């Protein structure tokens, strides 16, 4: 290699960082942070693939059978006869959800970025374009189609859509200017907010599991303080954790490395529990 500095970019890194020789506990602390991030990402991949399996097995299969009315059994105001614009929006939104989830996973894998850069670029273009369409149709469904939930929840969904659009613009901007370290940071943020719907579902099911049933909301009306909270938390908490992770990664403080690693292990366990309950209690019974 001609560069004097070898850059190490791993699947969880938001930036290319110089590969510097580490000694003693700092090497151990950085390794703990790296592997804890790897643990969470591995759990997330499993959960997202199960979500894609559900989307394909229920929504796409129902559509292929010509039974779009089945969507309304799961989604209030899902398919409405005569509402061409609304039906087009929801069909587009749901069909894109599966491709967006898969494309996002592929964008985060460093081996693909390194070995098949052309695929990474084209997949990124498709990913960004799909996210813009999904965010726009999501806003339409919430505000013009009597979306489920109350006004506060609609604001939370709107915030998620706006964050997707902002992160998409920033990720694209830094990619075009070849500022790849900044691009990776914004791509990581985009990956998290793009999975807001997934975070909402596993977060909700984790909450139901630890409370042994619905708590803080009415399951019939789907309204209540907890749902208002999670409508914002599904975007903001992942972003907060991401920023703390990036700060720990940039820091030379070993306590920051170990502390963030411990937090990621706990979040991995919580995510795993939410995924399991969501799949067994929400997704699998509908397939």
Tell me the mean pLDDT in the region 96-107: 97
Distance CA 88, CA 22 (A): 55
Hunting for tokens 């059994």 — which residue is that? 73
Rounded to 5°, the CA angle 276-280-281 comes to 110
Distance CA 285, CA 58 (A): 10
Confidence of residue 41 (pLDDT cuts 50, 70, 90): very high
Query: Is residue 191 within 8 Å of residue 104, measured between CB atoms?
Result: yes
Note the pLDDT tens digit of each residue in 232-269: 999 999 999 999 999 999 999 999 999 999 999 999 99
Note the pLDDT tens digit of each residue in 154-194: 999 999 999 999 999 999 999 999 999 999 999 999 999 99
In this structure, the number of other CB atoms found within 10 A of the CB of residue 202 comes to 28
Distance CA 142, CA 24 (A): 53
Hunting for tokens 């915030």 — which residue is that? 159
Task: Kindly provide the b/e burial profile for residues 100-138, where b requires at least 16 CB atoms within 10 angstroms of the residue's own CB.
Answer: bbebbbebbeeebbeeeeeebeebbeebbebbeebbbbb
Note the pLDDT tens digit of each residue in 46-82: 999 999 999 999 999 999 999 988 888 888 777 788 8
Q: Phi, psi at residue 195, to the nearest 5°?
A: -100, 25
Q: What is the pTM of this model?
A: 0.89
Tell me the mean pLDDT in the region 13-38: 72
Query: Is residue 135 within 8 Å of residue 165, measured between CB atoms?
Result: yes
Residue 231 predicted with pLDDT over 70 = yes
DSSP reduced 3-state for 252: coil
Residue 15 predicted with pLDDT over 80 = no
């Amino acid at each position: 290699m001609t560069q004097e500095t070898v850059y190490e970019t791993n699947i969880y890194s938001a930036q290319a960082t110089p590969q510097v020789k580490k000694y003693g506990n700092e090497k151990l602390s950085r390794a703990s942070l790296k592997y804890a991030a790897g643990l969470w990402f591995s759990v997330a991949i499993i959960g997202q693939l199960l979500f894609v399996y559900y989307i394909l097995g229920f929504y796409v299969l129902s559509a292929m059978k010509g039974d779009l009315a089945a969507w309304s059994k799961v989604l209030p105001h899902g398919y409405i006869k005569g509402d061409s614009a609304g039906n087009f929006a929801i069909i587009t939104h749901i069909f894109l959800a599966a491709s967006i989830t898969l494309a996002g996973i592929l964008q985060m894998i460093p081996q693909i970025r390194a070995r098949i850069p052309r695929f990474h670029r084209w997949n990124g273009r498709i990913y960004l374009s799909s996210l813009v369409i999904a965010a726009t149709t999501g806003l339409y469904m919430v505000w013009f189609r009597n979306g489920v939930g109350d006004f506060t929840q609609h604001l939370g969904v709107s915030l998620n859509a706006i964050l997707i659009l902002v992160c998409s613009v920033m990720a694209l901007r830094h990619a075009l200017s070849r500022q790849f370290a900044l691009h990776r940071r914004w791509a990581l943020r985009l990956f998290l907010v793009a999975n807001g719907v997934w975070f909402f579902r596993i977060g909700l099911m984790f909450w139901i599991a630890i409370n042994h049933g619905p708590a803080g909301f009415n399951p019939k009306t789907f309204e209540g303080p907890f749902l208002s909270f999670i409508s914002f938390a599904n975007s903001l908490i992942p972003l907060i954790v991401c920023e703390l992770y990036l700060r720990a990664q940039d820091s030379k403080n070993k306590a920051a490395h170990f502390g963030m690693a411990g937090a990621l292990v706990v979040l991995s366990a919580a995510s795993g529990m939410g995924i399991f309950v969501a799949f067994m209690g929400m997704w699998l019974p509908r397939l």
